[in-house]
Amino acid sequence: MSTTLHIDWTRCDGRGLCTELLSGVLDRDDWGYPVARGKLGRERTDVPIRDGDREAAQEAVSLCPVLALSLQERGVRMAAVEGTRRRG
Ligand code: SF4
């Protein structure tokens, strides 16, 4: 199954919690916002997730303090998982 992590930069506060959880997938840009490693354009914020990273991606979605992350399965957006409101 094809899973994509979407990053909403309009909500993100750029503190980088998700980049720590998904360090092999995400990097931070010059302003601290999470981006897909080695990608350009739209692929920077719609990040393909391999099966091995799926659990960490779900954790990042649930822990993002501003609900800036969501997972999509083949174009269908999954409900964001409300997590604790720790700072990202
Ligand atoms: S965890 Fe959320 S707020 Fe923090 S950097 Fe990632 S997307 Fe932005």
pLDDT of residue 81: 46
Per CATH, domain 3-74 is 3.30.70.20 = yes
If you measure from the C-alpha of residue 4 to the centroid of ligand 1, how many angstroms do you get, rounded to a whole number?
Answer: 16
List the chain domain ranges. Answer: 3-74
Q: Which residue has the tokens 């692929």?
A: 43
User: Ligand 1 pocket by C-beta < 6 Å: which residues?
Assistant: 7, 12-18, 34, 64-66, 68-69, 88
- pLDDT digits (tens), the chain, 88 positions: 689 999 999 999 999 999 999 999 999 999 999 999 987 777 789 999 999 999 999 999 999 999 999 999 875 666 554 444 455 5
What pTM was estimated for this model as a whole? 0.82
Burial of 54 (0-12, 13-18, 19+ CB in 10 A): middle
